[in-house]
Amino acid sequence: MTRLEILGVEGMPEIAAGADLAGIICEHADLHPGDVLVVTQKIVSKAENAMAVVDPDDPLSHKPLVERESVRVLRRRGDLIISETKHGFVCANAGIDLSNVERGRAALLPEDSDRSARRIRDGVRGRTGVEVAVIVSDTFGRPWRRGVTDVAIGSAGILPIVDLRGTTDAHGREMQVTEVAVVDELAAAADLACGKAAGIPVAVIRGVDAAWLGTGSVADDVVRSPADDLFR
């Protein structure tokens, strides 16, 4: 059988500003060439000190931050703001989040999460000599469907979109649905192992098709430009 494994990396310590994430991950995971390392945004933001101070007694004190981190507000309902961030992500509250952070602090999105992914990838290579792919994941809602899922906000060492255009299906006909956002599918798969409150902020996915390893970034390949978008 075709087989992949999703391994949650346990025992990671609390991550502080300036932490060597790649080093800490290497201490807690046995990485193999071709593994895809999925690192949740929160610990990346903490390591990069992408944090802001908020009033711990005011549950809405992060709202001015949401406005500041947004380049365009798409929808508002009550306290909820769906906006486009400077990175081009469309998500709730500009990706700002108060859970699993110190009281009185809010985690922002990393400045450039593709760069964050490249740094972790380079750090793993430098420390162990092992070439892995890295995805930085975050938890976004979707229109039309209830519930949140994890998606990729940064990547390195992997094709974000695998283009099957021109390949033929089992009937010899050219495929129609073709460009698969494998980084998002990998981020979603990793979340199955990273229990939300269980303190597993990193997962390793092993057995990924080697043809998917390559170059690209979420910003360049996954973020859809407003001109191409039918819902902006």
Phi, then psi, of 34 in degrees rounded to 5? 90, -5
Alpha-carbon span 155 to 218, nearest angstrom: 6
Minimum gap (Å) between residue 68 Cβ and a second copy: 19
Residues 6+ apart with CB under 8 A from 160: 152, 181, 182, 183, 216, 217, 218, 220, 221, 222
The least CB distance from residue 175 to a second copy, in Å, is: 5
Residue 23 Cβ, how far from a second copy at the closest point, in Å?
Answer: 19
**Token code pair at residue 186:** 């990998």
Alpha carbon 195 to its chain centroid, in Å, reads 15
- In angstroms, what is the minimal distance from the CB of 154 to a second copy? 13
Quote the CA–CA distance of 97 and 42 in Å, as a whole number. Answer: 9
